[in-house]
Amino acid sequence: MSGLVAELESLAPTMAPDAVLTDPDRMAGYRWDRANDPTAGTPVAVVRVSSTEDVQAVVRLAARHRVPIVTRGAGTSLSGGSTAADGCVVISTERMRRIEVDPLTRTCRTEPGLFNAEVKAAAAAHGLWYPPDPSSFEICSIGGNIATNAGGLCCVKYGVTTDYVLGMTVVLADGTVVELGGPRIKDVAGLSLTKLFVGSEGTLGIVTEVVLRLLPAQRPPSTLVATFGSLTDATGAVCEMTRTMRPSMLEFMDQASINAVEDMTRMGLDRSAAALLVIQSDEPAEFALAELEAISEICSRYRASEVFHTDDPQEGEAFVAARRAAIPALERRGSLLLEDVGVPIPQLSDLVDGIAAISANRGVDIAVVAHAGDGNTHPLIVFDPSDTEQVERAQAAYGEVMELAIGLGGTITGEHGVGRLKKAWLPDQLGEEAMELNRRIKQALDPDGILNPGVIF
């Protein structure tokens, strides 16, 4: 191992200053991600790469020494995907920050270290828009988004990360550099390898550059906020809306998350509501009005206690910000086990009711926020980490929520990835044949299992 560290340090002169870190204090910030896994390991080195060539050089060394590599973007993974493994080399992409926007092809070519918000801003400077918008868009990297196939709030109308990835440069486990796709809207030459790497969570290769499709700038949205006295009414209204309409946002908060956000923001949310929906339309003004009137009528039919509508984008953004604030607001109440289960929309009501039943049976608080229009919920299990018995009940509930989703024909993860925390449930969802196919692909691309071991597989 010390041989590897010496060889990594010998690479340092070919890299930007201070690229290789081996001091435990300076490496500490690279051990954990936002899943806060207490079993996080200690790396032997962190390399802050600046180019594809840097990545290739580090991978070749690690491959020769058969040392694990954990690729890290901004470390906001909620499933433990960027948690360090013991004795690994962490490749941090934080310094890979070049971006070029090409308005002619309506694409951008970007390195992985930029934050999602920075990619959006670069596109906006040309009157263009990169839609995928995880709630963490100001703190997560675009490389992490590619590697987890991140979703977000506007995905109900505009799709998820993979729908915008046209090409990439990827460094394989043996150091080979592969160029896939490019700034072409249509391209079916060969297998869909670009798509294979999207969502592969750093287990098949390291993405060092990516070509993203951009759209014309979004029209300023109109916003409707509705509160409900029962969860069933709120989820019933969601099912009714998605049958015939495509709002540009359809988000859900339950009472526990409304109250946590209200505690933090004091913005005047109705603490007594069982559920709140935040819905947007970005159609041209007259169509937006018609769409939101139809949605308002559905909310009333499902006994909404209050329906509020604004075409002032800033006023609307305050409610969207409230929804985005749910995770940090609940983190103030204790430690979180964060779920990401999704179901076909007609099963949304059964999922939300089932989660409430698990919360009652296990005696643990579970707040729910959801990208409701996608059937993708985030049950947030809140617990006191110093109470061993409560930790056990929270962990039991964590498994039961995933089993519930699988039983309803759903998924254990809609957007955060399997990471380390959910892999025990993956075979139950995929079945043995699909699981084996996953293993064969991993084996073909990373026969020594050095890329993010312990994640997914």
Ligand X SMILES: Cc1cc2nc3c(=O)[nH]c(=O)nc-3n(C[C@H](O)[C@H](O)[C@H](O)COP(=O)(O)OP(=O)(O)OC[C@H]3O[C@@H](n4cnc5c(N)ncnc54)[C@H](O)[C@@H]3O)c2cc1C
Judged by the rule CB under 6 A, the positions of this chain that interact with ligand X are 33-34, 70-78, 81-82, 93, 112, 134-136, 140-141, 143-145, 147-148, 150-152, 201-202, 206-207, 327-328, 415-416, 452, 455
The vertex-235 CA angle with 229 and 241, nearest 5°, equals: 115
Backbone dihedral angles phi then psi of residue 169, each to the nearest 5 degrees: -110, 130
Q: Tell the smallest beta-carbon distance from residue 252 to ligand X (Å).
A: 13
Sign of the C-alpha dihedral computed for residues 285, 299, 136 and 68 taken in this order: negative
Q: Tell the smallest beta-carbon distance from residue 314 to ligand X (Å).
A: 21
Instruction: Name the one residue in this structure whose structure tokens are 């999207």.
Output: 198
Q: Which is closer to ligand X, CB of 270 or CB of 448?
A: 448
431: which residues sit within 8 A by CB, 6+ positions away? Answer: none
Q: Which is closer to ligand X, CB of 93 or CB of 259?
A: 93
Q: Which is closer to ligand X, CB of 208 or CB of 223?
A: 208
Q: Which is closer to ligand X, CB of 84 or CB of 404?
A: 84
Q: Which is closer to ligand X, CB of 3 or CB of 385?
A: 385
Burial 360-371, CB ≥16 within 10 A → b, else e: eebebbbbbbbb
Q: Which is closer to ligand X, CB of 171 or CB of 288?
A: 171
188: which residues sit within 8 A by CB, 6+ positions away? Answer: none
Q: Which is closer to ligand X, CB of 120 or CB of 362?
A: 120
Q: Tell the smallest beta-carbon distance from residue 89 to ligand X (Å).
A: 12
Sign of the C-alpha dihedral computed for residues 306, 311, 315 and 321 taken in this order: positive
Q: Which is closer to ligand X, CB of 134 or CB of 247?
A: 134
Instruction: Name the one residue in this structure whose structure tokens are 């005696």.
Output: 363
Q: Which is closer to ligand X, CB of 112 or CB of 410?
A: 112
Q: Tell the smallest beta-carbon distance from residue 440 to ligand X (Å).
A: 20
Q: Coil, helix or strand for 70?
A: strand
Pick from 200, 211, 210: which is nearest to 438 by CA?
Answer: 200
CA atoms of 10 and 50, how far apart (whole Å):
16
Q: Tell the smallest beta-carbon distance from residue 450 to ligand X (Å).
A: 13
Q: Tell the smallest beta-carbon distance from residue 196 to ligand X (Å).
A: 12
Pick from 303, 212, 323, 209: which is nearest to 262 by CA?
Answer: 323
How many other CB atoms sit within 10 Å of the CB of residue 151?
25
For 366-409, give the DSSP string.
EEEEEEGGGTEEEEEEEE-TT-HHHHHHHHHHHHHHHHHHHHTT
Q: Tell the smallest beta-carbon distance from residue 455 to ligand X (Å).
A: 6
Q: Tell the smallest beta-carbon distance from residue 70 to ligand X (Å).
A: 6
Q: Tell the smallest beta-carbon distance from residue 161 to ligand X (Å).
A: 8
The vertex-342 CA angle with 337 and 443, nearest 5°, equals: 80
Of all residues in the shown chain, the one whose CB is closest to ligand X is 144
